[in-house]
Copies of this chain bind each other. A is one copy, B any other.
């Protein structure tokens, strides 16, 4: 029986109801963003107010509604998708970072008047955002009204708050007890001369308390807040998610459990003189609960930086999870190559096959993000995802791009391979080889302790820039440890962040070539930063590879490789064979032997 029977409103009907509510509440404009109260990268369905209102389902974007206008700001990844999804409604697309389109702040300044009220849900904006917006609008007397939950009020069939149980991340995986991590946080509090620390970032909280959850798709976290004082460690979480065993574990680590929402009631009663927090993570409503008498130190959360470099136990585990993940992916490539001529392969059933191969591996939990399987021109769209309504067949020619990863109890992975499915054009081979050069030149880097990922980023881009090509993405991001697949703080990127690379940091290396309506190529391995050699006062670091999946021999033009690049490639391929072949059947082994043979 179909239990979703109810009257579905159109976007314009929702808009009409929203405008009615705005009038009643004396709000000239209403702002709807894409966020949860923790400023998470991905959010639970419960918080997808912007999708509900606009019909646009992308992972980012925000809307503004007035009696006259209905506007949706989206970034370059989503111009095409948003255009389709809002067509037929009153919403108009505002292209971010595009000439001719004002920013949110510019539009508000131009279209609101002195005394106008701009409403929004203060739970879903960070204190940083609130301050930035207030500052940007300072020239006009616009009232920011952050206590309105208008979409939530209208949304009849809203999904409930997620309620997945949490589980213990055992010491054999974490290498360090929660009690110990909390003590290290307290040590930093002492150094910073603050009496408490407040956390809202779900990844940081799960790491600090050594638990994991399942509240957000592909991200093993749970909705929670944390408050650490010199004597107490409070975990604010739905108590129904915590079974007896987990409760005992947490309490043994000195953690006091509180109901999730009580954080909003407890903060006003804090008897402290100082607290440290990151205004970019704390939502405006929560921030406003902190008594004015408390001195606030605004800085990056300690756990955010503490968890960036893996300890030796975590690193050993992370290596193991990457090895098993590499076996699954190598088997998958063999499967594609074997069947692309004869079987009906498409982007959807290929993704299912890859899931099944990962699920066969020990300790597998889930994909670390929605697998991207993109054939031919689809891969030129960097954030393409096939759906039941729109997907391509995989043909025995050209490139198939597969970007995927897994969560395991002992780690999280992320890898991209671009697989030749049959004959390639010369241009495809050249672009694959240039992408490989880009990957190699970063992979083999040796660098002094102290440099940032921004400083090294050019090593990957230079081989492509020499050919006047660039990819419109970062080169690499941190990968969490059974946490978010996109983590900070380390990254390879063209924008500067002052985070030096350190021993134990895991980071991706994923340059690419994207040619609209033709193909997309990306080669991604993940690396851990390791100490290499100390020479006098100079400490040299290197990148040590975690991913061992063959590179596509048929797509490589050795004539375009310098000697040191060819040497890197042959070493890598030989290592893949040595590490992966023991886990393959004999047909797979035979294929891998040929695929990884010295060039």
Contact = CB atoms under 8 A, between A and B. Distances in A.
Interface stretch (A233-241, A337-345, A449-457, A580-588): A449-457
A493 to B, nearest CB: 10
A494 B447 CA distance: 11
Interface stretch (A132-140, A208-216, A462-470): A462-470
A264 interface: no
Contact of A451 (B448, B452, B494): B494
Nearest to A455: B458
Interface stretch (A41-49, A51-59, A309-317, A533-541): A533-541
Given A451-B494, A455-B455, A563-B562, A445 B462 contact: yes
A533 B459 contact: no
Contact of A462 (B459, B498, B562): B459
A540 B451 CA distance: 25
Given A454-B455, A458-B458, A468 B562 contact: no
A458 B498 CA distance: 16
A496 interface: yes
A230 to B, nearest CB: 24
B494 A496 contact: no
Nearest to A498: B496
Nearest to A465: B446
A535 B516 CA distance: 14
B470 A448 contact: yes
A458 B452 CA distance: 11
A564 interface: yes
Contacts of A533: 468
A355 to B, nearest CB: 37
Contact of A540 (B444, B452, B465, B562): B465
Interface string A482-501: 00000000000010101000
A494 B451 CA distance: 8
A186 to B, nearest CB: 24
Contact of A457 (B450, B455, B462, B538): B455
A447 B470 CA distance: 10
Question: Does more than half of chain A's interface fall in helix, strand or loop, or is it mixed?
Answer: mixed
A203 B228 CA distance: 54
Contacts of A466: 444, 446
Interface in A512-543: 533, 535, 538, 540
A26 to B, nearest CB: 34
Nearest to A467: B446
Task: Give the residue among A448, A455, A469 with the most B Cβ atoms within 10 A.
Answer: A455
Interface residues of A, number: 31
Among A447, A457, A458, A461, chain B packs the most CB atoms within 10 A around the CB of A458
A445 B458 CA distance: 10
A446 B469 CA distance: 10
A440 to B, nearest CB: 12
A468 B498 contact: no
Interface string A560-574: 001110000000000
Given A459-B458, A563-B562, A564-B562, A468 B446 contact: yes
Contacts of A563: 562
A447 B458 contact: yes
A468 B538 contact: yes
A280 to B, nearest CB: 20
Contacts of A456: 458
A563 B563 CA distance: 9
Nearest to A441: B462
A468 B465 CA distance: 27
A454 B538 CA distance: 19
B465 A458 contact: no
Interface in A352-407: none
Nearest to A468: B535
A470 B562 contact: no
B458 A451 contact: yes
Nearest to A445: B462
Closest 10 CB pairs of A and B: A562-B562, A446-B465, A468-B535, A468-B533, A470-B538, A455-B458, A446-B466, A468-B540, A496-B496, A456-B458
Interface of A: 444-448, 450-452, 454-459, 461-462, 465-466, 468-470, 494, 496, 498, 533, 535, 538, 540, 562-564
Given A454-B454, A454-B455, A465-B540, 19 more contacts: A444-B466, A445-B462, A446-B462, A446-B465, A446-B466, A447-B465, A448-B470, A450-B494, A451-B458, A455-B455, A455-B457, A456-B458, A458-B458, A458-B459, A459-B459, A468-B538, A468-B540, A496-B496, A496-B498
20 contacts: A444-B466, A445-B458, A445-B462, A446-B468, A447-B458, A448-B470, A448-B494, A451-B458, A454-B496, A455-B455, A455-B457, A456-B458, A458-B458, A458-B459, A459-B459, A459-B462, A468-B535, A469-B535, A470-B538, A496-B496
